[in-house]
Structure formats: structure tokens, C-alpha cells
Amino acid sequence: MELLNPNANISAILPELVVAFAGVVVMLYDSFVPRQRVVSTVISLLGLVIAAVLLVGMWNSASTGNATGWGGMIALDSLRMSFSFVFLFTTAMTILVSAVWVEREDVPVGEYHALLMFATFGMMLMASGNDLVIIFLGLETLSIATYVMAGLRRGALGVSGTFSTVDSRVRTVAVGYLGDLRPGDRMLAVPAHTSSLSASWTQPRWTLALTATRAEDWVNYDRVALARDYTGADGAQHDVTGARLRSYWRDYSGQTHLRLSASRDVGHGLTLLMLGDNLLGGQVGEPDNLTIRQGRAISGGLRASF
């Protein structure tokens, strides 16, 4: 079998590499020096300009008949150059137009510019693709960057919820087992349903979050009756071992828990915090009728960042 020369010509994809490299530089710079709008804008625009200059130098190569590179996977024609110029120009205009918007809307500017560069790299890779693999790689790069970018700017109000259901049952027991569980029984203290609902309100200098959680419908021991019979509090002795423990089983319906948190940025690295836990005040009933949980608690504090 004869192996074909892939014709790995780096210059054929150099404009795309420059755009991707600029995105990496912006991302790394923002990791160490965050929210530098002017610096990340300059780095992004410089990468776009260099890529445009390289495309101009490649235009003559496209007209000499050398129409492909990398074993025919990369196109070197006028159509690829034209679309690449459109993508570079559109990205540059987007960066310039959104220069003030990202600050006003409190968007993480470094991440925004880096993702914009990666999306541009994906678009340019699609335009240069002369093979389905290259087109797919460009599409995936564009899609991932766009999906992440769509979540950068969050609305002031956010709502989320979860619900899960579990049917946990004993399938079999070991030979010689003398406990109270039998095949087909529900596992003790395992809720059949759990749910949560969270709402948050976010502004540039403060946040507010309210969360409600509930676990319901499970089987567990009547710990109060079990403790009374085990200690012989009524003057009689009871056997509370093995299968007799089944008589102490009872159903629990569960309770709803409410939690509230708030924070306020007062500047100079200081943040005021307030937390309210178990606001409904329920203390018994989970996971059994003997355990007493912490009651309603409200606390506050001051966090300092250096």
C-alpha cells in the first residue's frame, strides 16, 4: 500500500492559526489580569489584522493554480479568501461595536473576546475546507464557542428546578440474613421523590437567591416507639431485633426547606453577606421522628478579598 504525502503546508492555514493564537493569548492574559477591556480588544484586533494581511499575501497563490493543500483537504481559492475576509471584517466590527456594551452589561470581556476569536477560527476553517472532516471540525469549533458565548450574559432573573424519582427495592438477601428486610421491600430512608426550585436575581453589585428543596415519601423506623420499647420505658421488655423490627416501620411524608442568601459588593474588595437557612423552621420528621435538626437560622457577615 502506498502512503500519500499529506503536503502539510502550514502557510495554507496560517491566517486561521493566527486568529486561534490571538484567542489563546487573550484567554491566558485574562486569566492573570481579568477585565482589561482595552488590552483584550487590542490583542484581538491585532490578530485579525495580521490574519487579513496574510490572506492578502495568499491571494496571488490562489490565482496560480495551486488550489489545494494538506492533501486536498484545504482549499486555496478565491472563494475561501473572500469568505475569510468577510468573517474577519465582521468580527472586527463586532469587537469595536461591543467595546462599551460588554462593560455596561458586566460581561467578562476577556472570555467574550477569546470565544469570539475561536468562533471566527471555526468559520474560517469551514470556508477553507475542501474535505468533510475539515468542515466538520470548523463547524464544531464554531458551535462550541457560540454555545458558551450565549451563556456569558445572563439575565437579571434566573429560575431553575429539578425533580427526581427513585424506586429502590431489595432484590435478594444473603443466606442466613436475620434482619427485617425482605425481597421486594423498599430500602429504608430512601426518598421516592426529591425536588428543588431556585430563583436568583443578579445585578452588577448584588445578588439574591431563594431555594426550596423537598424530599418526600420514604419508609423508616418509628424511632420514638423503638427507643421506648428497647429501653423498657413502659415496664415491659420487648424483643426489637430481626424481623420484629418491621412492626416499627412507618411512612414519612417529608418537609419543605427554604434557604435565602444575599450579597452586596460595597467596594474595595468587601462584600456584605446574609444567609437564612431553614426559614420554615421545621426540625423533626427527617429522616425519622427522633432526629432534631437545626432550626431557623439567620446569619450575616463581611467577606474581604485581597
pLDDT in tens, 101-136: 887 777 888 889 999 999 999 999 999 888 888 888
pLDDT reported for residue 5: 62
- 225 lies in some domain: yes
Q: Which residues, 6+ apart, have CB-to-CB distance to 52 below 8 Å?
A: 15, 85, 88
Torsion sign, CA atoms 109, 111, 113, 115: negative
Give the model's pLDDT for residue 15: 93
Whole-angstrom distance, CA of residue 120 vs CA of residue 124: 6
- Concatenate the DSSP letters of all residues of 187-236 into one string: PTT--SEEEEEEEEEE-SSEEEEEEEEEEE-EEEE-HHHHHHHHHTTTS-
Q: How far apart are CA 67 and CA 62, in angstroms?
A: 6
Domain for residue 26, yes or no? yes
Give the H/E segment covering residue 41. helix 37-62
Which stretches in the chain have pLDDT values below 70? 1-8, 60-69, 153-155
What is the distance between the alpha carbons of residues 118 and 291, in angstroms, rounded to a whole number? 54
Answer yes or no: do 115 and 179 share one domain.
Answer: no
The tally of CA atoms less than 13 A away on the side-chain side of residue 280 is 13
Backbone φ and ψ of 208, nearest 5°: -140, 130
For residue 242, the enclosing domain spans 157-304
Residues 120 and 177 in one domain: no
86 and 24 within one domain: yes
User: What pLDDT does 102 receive?
Assistant: 81
**Pairing label, strands 270-277, 255-267:** antiparallel
Asked if 284 and 193 sit in the same domain, the reply is yes
* Total of domains in the chain: 2
**pLDDT in the model for residue 3:** 53
- Beta-bridge partners for 78: none
19 and 145 housed in the same domain:
yes
pTM across the whole model: 0.53
Q: Is 2 part of any domain? A: no
Instruction: Name the domain boundary from 109, 131, 150.
Output: 150
Q: How many residues does the chain have?
A: 306
Q: Is residue 5 one of the residues assigned to a domain?
A: no
Q: Which three cell numbers stand for residue 164?
A: 427526581
Predicted confidence at residue 90, as pLDDT, reads 95
